[in-house]
Structure 1
């Protein structure tokens, strides 16, 4: 019988080695707010999905941002509301911090404002389930006379008074890591013309790049956010 070596004898006093990742906490699935169209069923009724990373537990989203996104998709239905039910009976309101919890919601519009409903046959407060949506940006009409409150507040800010090296999204300073980004790209010049956007600046007869480069269409982003913005 072979003699037990010193190294083998010492090893018996220690537990079996374990992989360093064996007892790590599993990654939590990112929280999201998913908005569905109430008039349709199945996987094709999702209007949009937004990350829910706000709040103390990082599982909520800014209510007004979610609501305005739905309004735009529904063709500027500003009276529309979120509901946790497909019937739209109960409305979802923001909490004290202006947030909405992660989850699945439906965006409803009033039946009384659609052309598909016979006048007087239905209550204006009753949801119209099968409402049309805007398929892409070029089909969306700019709401000149009914801007959302958040957009009005953003327009009241003086760009020249801000710190020149501050990202408008994260509100943090990054020095040379900031880039000027186009809110609406120069490729959308036809959208500017069709929506009479010349009233917000001297745009008549200007080239597409001149329109895109006007100060009102530029915003400072971190380089990584700028790349994500252009990729959407």
Structure 2
């Protein structure tokens, strides 16, 4: 038999979402955005980037995230500030964890004397260099409180000597695997949640 018949479509399932996130469906993708402008360019060419602002019911974005994005465009210049005007007089001064309201802002960098406000822009990811010093906020990223799925070994590499001594590869599905990869056969692999994987490798339980 070379086919299994037509695809059977399942009935549509209505997924219930937390009420706290219902406002996202009402956000306008154009109005509820943060627009970042370059103060040294004219009005027709000064838009650096635009980010969707879903962090608040009326449109807003995490301030530190936005400042990190600005710094990347400015070639890792994180000494800048945002203002609601091209001249940089009306600075916005939220705290790092605050939510900045959607709207138009200009990213300014410090200048000396008559130095031009037209600072160079990194326009391509390939031209951006990872900062030599890790930004402090990046280093403070907490450990995730959720789990990932890992590919785990039933007989772990730490027990490879036992594996070969008992000729366990005879139970493998793929007889073409090289000797150094015999433990990677699908017959010796299983999917486990990350915390369960760690517990299994630490001999907290056996199969």
Indicate how the Cα distance of structure 1 residues 152 and 43 shifts in structure 2: closer, same or farther if over 3 A, else same.
same
Contact kept, 8 Å, 1:35 with 1:47, in 2: the verdict is yes
Q: Is the 8 A contact 2:39 2:86 kept in 1?
A: yes
Inter-partner Cα distance in structure 2 for 1:96 and 1:37: 22
Q: CA RMSD in A?
A: 2.6
**Alignment coverage as a number of residue pairs:** 123
> Where has structure 1 moved over 6 Å in runs of 4 or more?
none
Counterparts in 2 of 1:42-57, with a 5 A limit?
A: 42-55=43-56, 57=57
Per the TM alignment, residue 150 of structure 1 is displaced from its structure 2 partner at its CA by: 2.3
Alignment of structure 1 residues 2-81 onto 2, 5 Å: 29-30=28-29, 31-55=32-56, 57-81=57-81
* CA shift in 2, pair 1:29/1:158, >3 Å: closer
Shift of 1:42: 2.8
**C-alpha separation in 2, matches of 1:94 and 1:60:** 12
CA distance in 2, matches of 1:133, 1:68: 14
CA distance in 2, matches of 1:152, 1:29: 33
Task: Write out per-residue CA displacement over residues 73-114 of structure 1, whole angstroms, 9 at most, x where no aligned residue.
Answer: 0111111110001001121122696111110000011113xx
CA deviation after TM superposition for structure 1 residue 43, in Å: 3.0
Residue 103 of structure 1 is matched in structure 2 by 103
- TM-score, structure 1 as length reference: 0.47
Contact map agreement 2:64 2:97 (CA 8 A) in 1:
no
| CA distance 1:163–1:94, shift in 2 (3 Å) | same
Give the Cα separation in 1 of the matches to 2:88 and 2:105: 10
1:150 counterpart = 2:137: yes
1:18-72 deviation per Cα after TM superposition (whole angstroms, max 9, x unaligned): xxxxxxxxx66330000011111133211110111112x2411111111110001
Flag structure 2 segments of 5+ consecutive residues without an equivalent. 1-25, 150-207
CA distance in 2, matches of 1:43, 1:93: 27
* Structure with bigger RCO (C-alpha 8 Å, 6+ apart): 2
Cα separation, 2, equivalents of 1:133 and 1:96: 24
- Distance between the aligned counterparts of 1:92 and 1:163, measured in 2? 34
Alignment equivalent of 2:121, drawn from 133, 143, 152? 133
Contact persistence 2:61–2:101 (CA under 8 A): yes
CA distance in 1, matches of 2:95, 2:137: 17
Q: CA deviation at 1:128?
A: 4.6
